[in-house]
Amino acid sequence: MSTFNIAILDGDGIGPEVIKQGIKVLDKVGARFGHTFNYTYAPVGAIAIDQTGNPLPDETLDLCKASDAIFFGAIGHPRFDNDPTAKVRPEQGLLRLRKELGLFANLRPVAGYKELTHLSPLRPERMEGVDMLIVRELTGGIYFGDKGRLNDGDTAYDTCTYHRFEIERIVKMGFEAAGNRRGKLTLVDKANVMESSRLWREVTREMAGDYPDVELNFMFVDNAAMQLILNPAQFDVIVTSNMFGDILSDASSVLAGSLGLLPSSSVGAKVGMFEPIHGSWPEGAGQDRANPVATILSAAMMLDHLGLVKEGDAIRSAVNTVLESGSGTEDLHPGNKVGTDGMGDLIVGKI
Ligand code: IPM
Ligand code: MG
């Protein structure tokens, strides 16, 4: 019997409506297993810019620091995307949140669902056995390195910097995750070109001795992009830098058939953050069309992180049961669809 304080940063677009389903599911889990979840809402992203001029207001950051976990919807709005002169962007809120909270590890599991193989862009036989975890470094590299314009304004630069300690802590997570899974770790980098990648290899090779049960291999990122499409089942755990992880996780996220299925967690410090991989889909907002499964599975990852593993399993098995039954939002079942809210209810009904 425990009580948890959850910061709700539901954000922009479809964020609020998918988070609402996640909360319904958490409340059902609470009722069944005897836990209390207290929710406090705070703005982030475009909506926070509209309200305060700041994509991550201080009150939001303070709330996050004081909570047991952060449940995050989505951020982003097209009015910022095509405006290179915009000084404030919703994304800055997310990046600052990761940095300030020390969330250096982003875990993105990708697995296929048997009953949805027909939705995958890959042939069914290529999806057989796909079950991987992408461990992405989240607070360093080119995202946070020195960037700017030189005097004439016509030259711009972004630098990719990694210190040994940043590499060690994320690679350690990769080894440990692999040890708990199928024992295979792939470091994805560009060591044939980049010095920072060569440091990643050096450090990772040094650490390998501590994990004799994990088979380590290295792969260049361009080849990895190709292998994820040709033979995704070969991967168990991939560990990689911030930007390579950003790109490869989006590519892998569609293998399962819909971006709307995949959860993620960002961890590394006391408070973890849990969010669907998909974005804010502003065109679909408020229409009861978005798939809440990614968000609901992110709630399950949150429970795992809070030490409530059987509760997390209850959510995962409810999701599986509903997907197996052939019900789903329009991305899964164009002909026989349920809405966002209806999908949430179906999953709640199986817990
Ligand atoms: C992600 C997103 C973010 C990133 C954006 C919104 C800044 O693409 O979480 O993958 O690039 O990290
Ligand atoms: Mg991304």
pLDDT score recorded for residue 79:
87
| Angstrom distance (rounded) from CA 199 to CA 202 | 5
| Res. 38: pLDDT tops 80 | yes
pLDDT grade, residue 261 (50/70/90)? very high
Beta strands in the chain (DSSP E): 3-11, 36-41, 69-74, 105-111, 131-137, 147-149, 156-158, 184-189, 215-220, 237-240, 263-267, 272-276
Which of these ranges, 168-172, 247-251, 313-317, has the smallest mean pLDDT?
Answer: 247-251
DSSP SS3 for 77:
coil
User: What is the mean pLDDT of the segment spanning 233-262?
Assistant: 94
pLDDT score recorded for residue 101:
97
Mean pLDDT for all residues in the chain: 95
pLDDT score recorded for residue 151:
85
Instruction: Indicate whether residue 74 lines ligand 1 (CB < 6 A).
Output: no
Instruction: Indicate whether residue 17 lines ligand 1 (CB < 6 A).
Output: no
| Angstrom distance (rounded) from CA 32 to CA 165 | 42
pLDDT score recorded for residue 81:
81
Atom 11 (ligand 1) nearest CA: 246
Calculate Rg over the CA atoms of the chain: 20
Instruction: Indicate whether residue 94 lines ligand 1 (CB < 6 A).
Output: yes
Which tens digit of pLDDT belongs to each residue from 47-106? 999 999 999 999 999 999 999 999 999 999 988 887 878 889 999 999 999 999 999 999
292: burial class by Cβ within 10 Å (0-12, 13-18, 19+)? buried
Indicate which atom in ligand 1 lies nearest the CA of residue 95. Answer: 7
Query: How much of the chain exceeds pLDDT 90, in percent?
Result: 90
Which tens digit of pLDDT belongs to each residue from 133-159? 999 999 999 999 999 999 888 999 999
pLDDT score recorded for residue 121:
93
pLDDT score recorded for residue 104:
98
Q: List Cβ neighbours of 228 (8 Å cut-off, separation of 6 or more).
A: 235, 248, 251, 252, 255
Instruction: Indicate whether residue 246 lines ligand 1 (CB < 6 A).
Output: yes
Atom 2 (ligand 1) nearest CA: 246
| Res. 114: pLDDT tops 90 | no
Domains belonging to the chain, first-starting first, are 1-103+257-351 (3.40.718.10), 131-254 (3.40.718.10)
Residues 188, 248: contact at Cβ < 8 Å?
A: yes
User: What is the mean pLDDT of the segment spanning 326-348?
Assistant: 93
| Res. 316: pLDDT tops 80 | yes
Atom 5 (ligand 1) nearest CA: 91
pLDDT score recorded for residue 260:
94
CA of 95 to the centre of ligand 1 (A): 8
* Residue positions annotated with a catalytic role: 143, 190, 222, 246, 250
Ligand nearest the Cα atom of residue 94: 1
| Res. 26: pLDDT tops 80 | yes
| Res. 1: pLDDT tops 80 | no
DSSP SS3 for 93:
helix
| Res. 190: pLDDT tops 80 | yes
